[in-house]
Amino acid sequence: MNQLHQQMKNVVESADTERKLILLRNHPDLGARIAMSDHSVQEQAGAGLQALSEVQHSVLSELNQKYTQTFEFPFIIAVKGKSADEIIAAIKNRVHNSYETEFETALREVYLISWYRLEAWMLEHMEEER
């Protein structure tokens, strides 16, 4: 599994900046009340993002908008194991990063998300084989 994930990362890392931006820009906004993949819905629900209060939703929406205006790609964080408050705190901190720092941070978060999804896929399919 480690080798497969590393190969996935290598594909992204070997891409030019524009291709990496396309990858980042295709991520849904956290807490958005839009159609998302089943994986995104499950991950965001696990972090409580599908059950935000109106105030939390408003704060997260404003922060997402500020972040996207600043960096021209959505805020990306692997939400597994994080609460809504931790995610809001992270976006408040990260919106002040330099473009370069945030670009690399967002890619690392994509890698972490892909690891979690690959791990879940492997576990699910290993169970089916038993």
Residues carrying an active site annotation:
27
| DSSP symbol at 35 | -
Contacts of 1 (CB under 8 A, 6+ apart): 118, 119, 122
Q: Helix, strand, or coil here: 27?
A: coil
Q: What is the distance between the alpha carbons of residues 12 and 35, in angstroms, rounded to a whole number?
A: 25
